[in-house]
Structure 1
């Protein structure tokens, strides 16, 4: 009986100390910047990116610092509330993990803005609510939702298509 109690206590402490969400790494952000560099019709240089405010947003903005460069663009972060996305003018939106309840609202705003949405939350891409999903570990994987890219009017340079998996 005592052994079961100790085992339950150890298991509970492990669960309590486990992170609730996977964090978006600096490498993930660099892959996102490179992917944005392949979006046709977006400006080059400094590009303001809306980071959807909520769980995970502060960590992403902190990791991005003054900006993340790659593919001819530097993504400069600005936190934007879900309700303010439609009027933000953002053409690039990062959707942090942990915002599953807002995916549909984010997707609707992104369609109106003709914005590319990026996330490390593959559920957002698999559901057709995000255009690009990125996983940099253990190896780089970029997944593009055909439905979301079509709905948002997003097209990519042909060279990008050989590096991605479309769903």
Structure 2
């Protein structure tokens, strides 16, 4: 329904009653639906500013646009780390001396990522007599950090 009224959405630095000054006019329309859509968009796009919704010379609302919500952080996957409860820091372990029921994973200390390692492929690539802890400076995480990791060791599931 079109009217002869002019609806406006204005952005203010302080409330108009407190002596604030107008920064910009977001929308000026004769359609109330368009004005409401512009007001909702202004709430999202102008956090921390005072928004007024005008109908001609009458102020319908004057509110402070809220700050955007903090992004929801994904909970860290603790179950994956629990599969590898021990840290392998013994320099005597080689791929040949590691018991077959043990599994290996790399834990990046920078981004807290835990990635399982195919120990048989690593033994084929680096040699069965390679000391496992000697490979740590060579390993690079997906986050791009090299050398800031540790070996985790666990048991294979039954």
Q: TM-score, normalised by structure 2?
A: 0.24
Q: Normalized per residue, which structure has more helix?
A: 1
Q: Normalized per residue, which structure has more strand?
A: 2
**Bigger CA radius of gyration:** 2
Q: TM-score, normalised by structure 1?
A: 0.23
